[in-house]
Amino acid sequence: MARRQSRPSIREVAKEAGVSVTTVSHALNGKGRLDTVTRERVIEVANRMGYHPNRNARGLRSGRTDTIALLLPLAPGRRRQPIEIDFYLELLTASVDAAFQHDQALVQLPPLESAGDLHRFALDGGIVVDPVRDDPRVAMFHDLELPLVTVGNHDARPHERWTVIADSAGTTRTMCDHMAAKGAQRIGMLTVDIDWSWFTDGIAAYQGWCADHGQEPILSLARRDKQETSMRDAVARLLDRPDPPDAVFVPPQWLASGLLTVAGERGITVPGDMIIGVGVDSGLARGTQPPLTAVDLNAPVMAQQAVDLLMKQIAGEPAAPRFRVVPTTLLPRESTSRVGVRPRGPGLTGRS
Amino acid sequence: MARRQSRPSIREVAKEAGVSVTTVSHALNGKGRLDTVTRERVIEVANRMGYHPNRNARGLRSGRTDTIALLLPLAPGRRRQPIEIDFYLELLTASVDAAFQHDQALVQLPPLESAGDLHRFALDGGIVVDPVRDDPRVAMFHDLELPLVTVGNHDARPHERWTVIADSAGTTRTMCDHMAAKGAQRIGMLTVDIDWSWFTDGIAAYQGWCADHGQEPILSLARRDKQETSMRDAVARLLDRPDPPDAVFVPPQWLASGLLTVAGERGITVPGDMIIGVGVDSGLARGTQPPLTAVDLNAPVMAQQAVDLLMKQIAGEPAAPRFRVVPTTLLPRESTSRVGVRPRGPGLTGRS
DNA sequence: TTGAAAGCGCTAACAG
DNA sequence: CTGTTAGCGCTTTCAA
């Protein structure tokens, strides 16, 4: 019955190579002072036998587990479901890769009820994605004195934390510049009232950009509940103005698709009457009609940075800086191709 | 530097409770013949001290790792990226929960280069999602004699495998019935040429349904490369017929959004001129204009079944049946609200 | 009903 | 330069 193929132990390798287990251990870990010839022979034998050190034994000895956790944010409302944004899946994948490079296993954690749950997993550390103020996940790591890196942050003094964030301010300025270059006269922002740096920094940068360019800010905030009515209220506040914007940057994805829908209902064409950019790229952004100009958050880089920081922290090594800002990439698509030129109907989008 | 709070060992619990480590072990695992009073006292002490057995020590002793892996399918083309379908993220989350119930950690694996990579993770078993013919992931598990459960299958003799699949045949019939009830006269199917049971069973069921209802099958297969041209070719074969369908069931998500786009370009309204249903629910399906009728694959149930099967296999217990078919749920939306009634423009979609 | 002790595979302190 | 050995925390014989 599916008994796992018994893997060779360090003792068998030692016997096969005609040396002691110590020598094998040293050879494989590059530790002691060994004759080069011996070392290479041992390594060769170990490879030939398909030897891999037993993680449990190694962990028992070292007190480490070589396991780290990634905690994705949960969707508000639906209790156990993570937010379905492609970025998170990308971040997960990239984190797995990065962890693997450090020979760490990466586990997903279920929604944690208590610090006890965290203990059961025997982690060396964790990465908490998009923490909110007083995030219980963060508190648990602190209580257990477990190494922690956050991706995204909500903190007034972020530089004291081990944190990786996307460059929200730079993204916002780039998007505004892009829209202005496409002919936008009045650029608005439709975003949400959540204290993640991704949103707050974006708002601040937007206001700064407006000040620099002599434009009055046109800002509309949706409630954070992700409800359709919140979206519609916020969109209405934007479009019902006497002087509605002809360009809108919408950081959260759900508001961007909502804006597109409402615009369609009102007969406002995109990009003819209004151009739109969204803050996170996704299949959804690519698949709308028209496809939405979006921001690539560079999940692989963020994951790499987060895992690297975590490994440093676990090892007790210094890391300077502990606070990393990852640049983003603008992906121009049809939704910002040019404002003020009504597209000639659906035929425009044909690429055959 | 972030030393992990040292957790109490079984010895400290024993000392605190005034018994031997053996007694503690027996009490906690319900093993030996212990006085009830002693057992309860030990348990109480252990709880009070926040004791959790060290996974490494236990694993070293038992030869198990209490770790299972989930392997999601990779997107064709983009090398290391999983397919961005909400279903997979749901499946992942639900699997984590189910694993947790069995006190197993669930790790994500990076794309595996060789069986050696698999060995490095010290797994008790794994779940391979949507295996293809001669899937190397499956082969690696077999080579290592590691317990394996597949979610989805491609096999002619699936009942010999440990497998969980969604009820593709039932889904197809339900969708066709639904469309017929909404006034569809000629139901077509737009799908893809991949040998996953999800697709092959769906095609067979569709042809069966057509035979039962005296309708000629209208089937168009896209190439599997997920390219825009593949989509356009397949859609054209459907719409350019002298007798195009007035309803289309589209199992793969990327083809459904493609069909919607092309229909828009051609001035075909949905659901007025044609109704459309997609085989997998997602944010994309909910967010299109109009929202797409879709199928909920019940990821939580599939995950639970898969993990349960895997645990049985690992424990060497029998499981009957080894082959589980999970029912799906149709989610009717506007895209199939009624065919043959041209909607009166965008206003129809307003729900304010 | 309880306890002493061996041993899982590995690393590292110490001895040679 | 290489080997012997203790011991990480746990489960499980075996003995009392």
State residue A280's pLDDT score: 94
Determine whether the distance from the CB of B207 to the nearest atom of strand D is below 7 Å.
no
The protein footprint on chain C, as nucleotides within 7 A of a CB, is: 1-5, 7-14
Cβ within 8 Å, pair B89-A89: yes
Output the six-digit token pair for A88. Answer: 């998170």
Choose among B30, B16, B126: nearest CA to B71: B126
What is the rounded average pLDDT of the residues B85-98?
89
Instruction: Give residues lining strand C (CB < 7 Å).
Output: A 9-11, 21-22, 25-26, 28-29, 31-32, 51, 53-54, 57-58, 60-62; B 19-23, 26, 32-35, 38-39, 57, 60-61, 63
Cα–Cα distance, B36 to B27 (Å, whole number): 9
Inform me whether the pLDDT recorded for B350 exceeds 60: no
Output the six-digit token pair for A255. Answer: 């508001």
Convert chain A into a string of H (helix), E (strand) and C (coil). CCCCCCCCCHHHHHHHHCCCHHHHHHHHHCCCCCCHHHHHHHHHHHHHHCCCCCHHHHHHHHCCCCEEEEECCECCCCCCCECCCHHHHHHHHHHHHHHHHCCCEEEECCCCCCHHHHHHCCCCEEEEECCCCCCHHHHHHHHCCCCEEEECCCCCCHHHCCEEEECHHHHHHHHHHHHHHCCCCCEEEEEECCCCHHHHHHHHHHHHHHHHCCCCCEEEEECCCCCHHHHHHHHHHHHCCCCCCCEEEECCHHHHHHHHHHHHHCCCCCCCCCEEEECCCCHHHHHCCCCCEEEECCHHHHHHHHHHHHHHHHHCCCCCCCEEEECCEEECCHHHCCCCCCCCCHHHHCCC
Nearest residue of A to residue B349, measured between CA atoms: A265
Contact by Cβ (8 Å): B247, B184: yes
**Residue B346 — very low, low, confident or very high, per pLDDT cuts 50/70/90?**
very low
Most confident listed range (A28-32, A281-285, B137-141, B299-303): B299-303
Among A4, A96, A116, whose Cβ lies nearest the Cβ of B146? A4
- Closest nucleotide over all strands to A60 (CA to C1'): D8
The spacing between the Cα labelled CA in A155 and the C1' in D13, in angstroms, equals 56
Among B57, B82, B316, whose Cβ lies nearest the Cβ of A93? B82
Higher pLDDT, B346 or A83: A83
Helix H or strand E encompassing B14: helix B10-17
**CB atoms near residue B186 (< 10 Å):** 18
Measure CA to C1' and name the residue nearest D9. B57
Q: Which residues pair with A38 in a beta bridge?
A: none
* Sequence-separated (6 or more) residues with CB below 8 Å from residue B113: none
Contact by Cβ (8 Å): A251, A198: yes
Cα–Cα distance, B329 to B175 (Å, whole number): 10
Cα–Cα distance, A327 to B308 (Å, whole number): 43
State residue B289's pLDDT score: 82
**Residue B4 — very low, low, confident or very high, per pLDDT cuts 50/70/90?**
very low
Cα–Cα distance, A236 to A222 (Å, whole number): 10
pLDDT per residue, tens digit, chain A (352 aa), is 334 456 789 988 888 888 888 888 888 888 767 788 888 888 888 888 888 899 999 999 998 999 999 998 876 665 556 676 788 888 998 999 999 999 999 998 888 777 777 888 889 999 999 988 888 899 899 888 899 999 998 776 666 789 999 999 999 999 999 999 999 999 999 999 888 889 999 999 999 999 999 999 999 999 988 888 999 999 999 999 999 999 999 999 999 999 999 999 999 999 999 999 999 998 888 878 899 999 999 999 999 999 999 999 998 888 888 999 999 999 999 999 999 877 654 444 433 3
Cα–Cα distance, A148 to B221 (Å, whole number): 48
What is the rounded average pLDDT of the residues B224-241?
93
Q: How far is A174 from chain B (nearest CA, A)?
A: 27
Measure CA to C1' and name the residue nearest C1. B34
Higher pLDDT, A38 or B84: A38
Higher pLDDT, B108 or A190: A190
- Closest nucleotide over all strands to B14 (CA to C1'): C3
Higher pLDDT, B2 or A343: A343
Q: Can you say whether residue A340 is alpha, beta or left, with left for phi > 0 and alpha for psi between -120 and 50 degrees?
A: left
Please give the angle made by the CA atoms of B88, B91 and B97, to the nearest 5 degrees: 145
Q: Which residues pair with A277 in a beta bridge?
A: A249, A293
What is the rounded average pLDDT of the residues B132-157?
86
* Beta pairing class for B148-151 and B105-108: unpaired
Cβ within 8 Å, pair A120-B50: no
- Count CB pairs under 8 A between chains A and B: 176
Output the six-digit token pair for B248. Answer: 């289309």
State residue A33's pLDDT score: 72
Determine whether the distance from the CB of A21 to the nearest atom of strand D is below 7 Å.
yes
* Sequence-separated (6 or more) residues with CB below 8 Å from residue B110: A96, A97, A100, B80, B117
Cα–Cα distance, A2 to B64 (Å, whole number): 13
State residue A189's pLDDT score: 98
Output the six-digit token pair for A16. Answer: 């096969």
Nearest residue of A to residue B268, measured between CA atoms: A346
What is the rounded average pLDDT of the residues B45-67?
91
Higher pLDDT, A67 or B32: A67
**Residue B74 — very low, low, confident or very high, per pLDDT cuts 50/70/90?**
confident
- Coil, strand, or helix at residue B296? strand
State residue A181's pLDDT score: 97
Inform me whether the pLDDT recorded for B348 exceeds 60: no
Nearest residue of A to residue B59, measured between CA atoms: A56
Measure CA to C1' and name the residue nearest C9. A57
Inform me whether the pLDDT recorded for B76 exceeds 70: no
- Closest nucleotide over all strands to B60 (CA to C1'): C8
State residue A94's pLDDT score: 93
Measure CA to C1' and name the residue nearest C3. B20
Residue of B100, B143, B269 best to disrupt the A interface, most CBs of A under 10 A: B100
What is the Cα gyration radius of chain A?
26
* Sequence-separated (6 or more) residues with CB below 8 Å from residue B270: B260, B263, B276, B290, B335
Contact by Cβ (8 Å): B112, B118: yes
Higher pLDDT, B121 or A338: A338
